[in-house]
Amino acid sequence: MQSLLEAQKKLLPDLLEVMQKRYQILHSISLMAPIGRRALAASLGMSERVLRSETEFLKGQNLLSTDVSGMRLTEEGQALLHTLNDLMREALGLKELETALKQRLNVARVVVVAGDSDRSPWVKKELGRACVACMKEQLRPGDIVAVAGGTTMAAVAEMMTPDPKLADVLFVPARGGLGEDVENQANTICAKMAEKATGRYRLLHVPDQLSGEAYASLIEEPAVKEVLELIQSCRMVVHGIGEAVTMAKRRKTPPVEMEKIIARHAVAEAFGYYFNEHGDVVHKVKTVGIQLENLPHVEHVIAVAGGASKAKAIQAYIKRAPHSLLVTDEGAAKALVGD
Amino acid sequence: MQSLLEAQKKLLPDLLEVMQKRYQILHSISLMAPIGRRALAASLGMSERVLRSETEFLKGQNLLSTDVSGMRLTEEGQALLHTLNDLMREALGLKELETALKQRLNVARVVVVAGDSDRSPWVKKELGRACVACMKEQLRPGDIVAVAGGTTMAAVAEMMTPDPKLADVLFVPARGGLGEDVENQANTICAKMAEKATGRYRLLHVPDQLSGEAYASLIEEPAVKEVLELIQSCRMVVHGIGEAVTMAKRRKTPPVEMEKIIARHAVAEAFGYYFNEHGDVVHKVKTVGIQLENLPHVEHVIAVAGGASKAKAIQAYIKRAPHSLLVTDEGAAKALVGD
DNA sequence: ATCATAGGGACATTATACGTCCCGGTATGA
DNA sequence: TCATACCGGGACGTATAATGTCCCTATGAT
């Protein structure tokens, strides 16, 4: 199979391009269905007319159907997408990117999905889908999964689906509040992910701001303490990676801390920790749950982040977590191997 | 891999066509290099302009190079062609056809080449090439090969090339004259094949029409007798298969015999024998050389025939020669497994 | 010297792809 | 209930690419 694609690349690169284009269209439709021509064309960055030609063709091939609400894949289309998944990843050079990144970042494993989250919003969904696939690959029934917050993690939760391998898996938030809006909080995402997986979940009900005494007494509360112990015994942590300043702003970080973050040249953020470009911790939000020191003792750590704009953040953070599995996208990956 | 190709064909229905076209071009160039556009276009049966577009493309891919003497493959092109050889056979389903035909016809071995001799003239060359490859596979230095006549056998002779395995091989005509034009006579083809292989040959100089006494005295001629003994001791017979009526007409068969052939529903012809659809001999041209009864005692028998129009003839004849190796083409093979 | 054959340039003629504009139908929400 | 936004699809003139046709010069064999 490998030689088939290699041979085809040499013999008919022009046709392979067309193939990739059509695959991408099917792929996008499967993620955004039902969707109309114009919206899809804008999303894929191609002219409406060429998209129309292609969708008419694909319709003729019985790969997608149209109705008044828009286009969606037929069963045949879904099946095709599935069989071509691996081939297209190779055709797009994603596998090459994965091995290149793995060496470059010195990280345990890398998964790269097509596209750039910065430019195409649906790529985040694809990141989510890939992350979910990785989770299912590594989880066993009865495991505990600690889930962090952020927009990317929200996409992961959104793409979660039930699976026999996830039977009896317990989802918990990785850490307490970090100042996020409710839709990006670990609690919310944890609950959503569990619901989508038809799994169980436990939440951490703690306020964002914690004085020293309140902290001490809160973690002794039975309801909190039990969850914290569950978190400590988790077999997997899944979290996003953000740009330090962007994250700090989104979380309405107090000016004094903000200055600290900027002064110490923080570039990356993950579950409340801020890192400079060397991967040193320059600031941390004090809260309960998983701490950076705990990570090496967790069996599976999955970091999810995409978009060329996050390349520097990924590079910085991953130095601290070499045994992670990194799920990223083409945009970030190319930026990372490029310089 | 078959499922991958099926999937690709869904997205790109004419993928295989283009692939085959370019493969054919590379293939032909490798055989005829150095060769010019016009000659190649004529040989492939495509217009000069489209061939030009394709070769310009292939040149851009660094698969072939041009100079004043014509086009030839680059090393990269050679390598690609080599990997494509097997790939194309599988992609076109030829391997499947071979196993299907082998079962269906109950014959020792089947080789199927791409295309249909009836529709594309170059396919006969391919048949020839495949046949030559089979011959080289089975012959040992010093062997004697008996060669029959016909247009297909002429193509085999045309495609013969020297080879260490053919060292000291002696080529002889399988039978005496059958009424063919000179270019299709066993003698001519035998000589040509030997020349192409830089091997030795002996011919049978006997007239087509033979009365009883002449026959008896001729086979006692030392020059003739010696060749006849060589023929009897051959280790390989290579022959074509024809449609009975077509062959009879081409050989200007006397009306009385013609009627006999038609009346007895002959459908197949091979080295002067005519068979009905059950494989029974309904007529034979009386001449010297290999007889049908000798065939089972010959170690290697190769029958070469292609084109959908010859399907019935192949099916009928092969019943009489189950231990043959059949070299045929896609057109005939599909017709044979189809009904 | 001649002739056949080589690759490549030039250009008119298609066939195809594409941009653009429009229409009627159907959800959705004010 | 009506305005609105989005849906697929028809229509048509215009780019763009593929192809047929003809010609040129260089080179090697005879």
How far is A11 from A65, CA to CA, in rounded Å? 32
**DSSP H or E run through A31:** helix A13-32
User: Of A65, A91, A117, which residue constitutes the final position of a domain?
Assistant: A91
User: Of A91, A111, A141, which residue constitutes the final position of a domain?
Assistant: A91
For the ranges A96-100, A239-243, B90-94, B232-236, the lowest mean pLDDT is seen at B90-94
- C-beta atoms of A23 and B15 within 8 A: no
* Chain B, window 51-110: residues with a beta carbon less than 8 angstroms from a chain A beta carbon: 57, 61, 63, 76, 80, 83-84, 87, 91
Q: Which residues in chain B belong to E strands, given as ranges? A: 64-67, 70-73, 109-113, 144-147, 170-173, 200-201, 236-240, 242-243, 266-270, 273-276, 281-284, 300-304, 325-329
| Statement: residue B316 has pLDDT above 50 | yes
The per-residue pLDDT for B325 is 95
Q: Which of A221, A147, A225 is nearest to A188 (CA)?
A: A147
How far is A202 from A224, CA to CA, in rounded Å? 10
Average pLDDT for B291-318: 94
> Whole domain around residue A192: which residue ranges?
92-335
Same domain, A236 and A102: yes
How far is B170 from A23, CA to CA, in rounded Å? 57
Nearest chain B residue to A9, by CA:
B61
Q: Which of B90, B59, B57, B63 is nearest to B78 (CA)?
A: B63
Report chain D positions within 7 A of protein CB atoms.
6-9, 11, 18-21, 26-28
Reduced to 3 states (helix: H, G, I; strand: E, B; else coil), residue B304 is strand
The per-residue pLDDT for B120 is 78
For chain A, 339 residues long, give each residue's pLDDT as a single digit of tens. 457 888 888 899 989 889 989 998 999 898 887 898 888 888 888 889 999 999 999 998 989 999 888 899 999 999 999 999 888 888 888 888 999 999 999 999 999 999 899 988 788 989 999 999 999 989 988 899 999 999 999 999 999 999 888 888 999 999 887 777 888 889 999 999 999 999 999 998 877 666 677 777 777 888 888 999 999 999 999 999 999 999 999 888 889 889 999 999 999 999 999 999 999 999 988 888 899 999 999 999 999 999 999 999 999 999 999 999 999 999 999 999 986
Residue A160: count other Cβ atoms within 10 Å of its Cβ: 25
Same domain, A69 and A207: no
How far is A148 from A154, CA to CA, in rounded Å? 9
* Chain A, window 146-175: residues with a beta carbon less than 8 angstroms from a chain B beta carbon: none
Residue B256, both tokens: 């009385």
Same domain, B129 and B260: yes
Nearest chain B residue to A81, by CA:
B7
- C-beta atoms of B83 and A6 within 8 A: yes
Q: B203-242: buried (b, 16+ CB within 10 Å) or exposed (e) per residue? A: bbebeeebeeeeeeebeeeeebeebbebbbebbbbbbbbb
The per-residue pLDDT for B208 is 63
Same domain, B182 and B137: yes
Average pLDDT for B254-279: 91
**Nearest nucleotide by C1' from B59 CA?**
C7
Residue B258, both tokens: 């013609």
Same domain, A115 and A37: no
**Nearest nucleotide by C1' from A66 CA?**
D8
Confidence bin at B307 (pLDDT 50/70/90): very high
Distance CA A293 to C1' D9 in A: 60
B37 touches strand C (CB under 7 A): yes
- C-beta atoms of B84 and A13 within 8 A: no
Report the residue from A1, A7, A15 with minimal CB separation from B83: A7
Same domain, B5 and B102: no
Same domain, B105 and B194: yes
Same domain, B299 and B199: yes
Between B252 and B237, whose confidence is greater? B237
Same domain, A124 and A209: yes
For the ranges A18-22, A144-148, B245-249, B286-290, the lowest mean pLDDT is seen at B286-290
Confidence bin at B339 (pLDDT 50/70/90): low
Q: Among all chains, which residue has been given the structure tokens 């095709």?
A: A80
Spatial CB neighbours of A164, under 8 Å, sequence gap ≥ 6: none
- C-beta atoms of A3 and B61 within 8 A: no
- Rounded to the nearest 10°, the torsion over CA A163, A165, A168, A171 is -80
- The answer to whether B313 touches B272, Cβ cutoff 8 Å, is no
Number of domains comprising chain B: 2
- The answer to whether B28 touches B40, Cβ cutoff 8 Å, is yes
Average pLDDT for B129-137: 92
Distance CA B49 to C1' C11 in A: 14
A95 touches strand D (CB under 7 A): no
Spatial CB neighbours of B284, under 8 Å, sequence gap ≥ 6: B272, B273, B274, B292
- C-beta atoms of B7 and A61 within 8 A: no
Nearest chain B residue to A14, by CA:
B57
Using a CB–CB cutoff of 8 Å, tell me whether B211 touches chain A: no
Same domain, B74 and B115: no
Report chain C positions within 7 A of protein CB atoms.
5-8, 17-20, 25-27
Cα Rg, chain B, nearest whole Å: 21
Same domain, B27 and B100: no
The per-residue pLDDT for B289 is 87
- The answer to whether A251 touches A178, Cβ cutoff 8 Å, is yes
Q: What is the pTM of this model?
A: 0.77
CATH of the domain at B107: 3.40.50.1360
- Rounded to the nearest 10°, the torsion over CA A119, A123, A125, A128 is -120
Same domain, A180 and A238: yes
- C-beta atoms of A12 and B15 within 8 A: yes
The per-residue pLDDT for A1 is 45
- The answer to whether B330 touches B111, Cβ cutoff 8 Å, is no
Q: Which residue places its CA closest to the C1' of nucleotide C18?
A: A49
- C-beta atoms of B23 and A3 within 8 A: no
CATH of the domain at A10: 1.10.10.10
- Within window 24-83 on A, which residues have Cβ closer than 7 Å to strand C? 47-50, 53, 68-69
How far is B339 from B337, CA to CA, in rounded Å? 6
| Statement: residue B39 has pLDDT above 50 | yes
Q: Which residues in B51-169 belong to E strands, given as ranges? A: 64-67, 70-73, 109-113, 144-147
Spatial CB neighbours of A333, under 8 Å, sequence gap ≥ 6: A94, A97, A98, A100, A101, A110, A112
- Percent of chain B at pLDDT above 90? 47
Between B263 and B4, whose confidence is greater? B263
- The answer to whether B17 touches B95, Cβ cutoff 8 Å, is no
Reduced to 3 states (helix: H, G, I; strand: E, B; else coil), residue B310 is helix
B69 touches strand C (CB under 7 A): yes
Q: CA of B19, closest CA in chain A: separation in Å?
A: 7
**Nearest nucleotide by C1' from B55 CA?**
C7
**DSSP H or E run through A170:** strand A170-173
The per-residue pLDDT for A209 is 65
Q: Among all chains, which residue has been given the structure tokens 């077509």?
A: B246
- The answer to whether A253 touches A261, Cβ cutoff 8 Å, is yes
The per-residue pLDDT for A339 is 63
Distance CA A274 to C1' D25 in A: 72
Confidence bin at B175 (pLDDT 50/70/90): confident
Which amino acid type is present at position B54?
A: E
User: Of A30, A64, A91, which residue constitutes the final position of a domain?
Assistant: A91
Beta bridge partners of A147: A173, A238
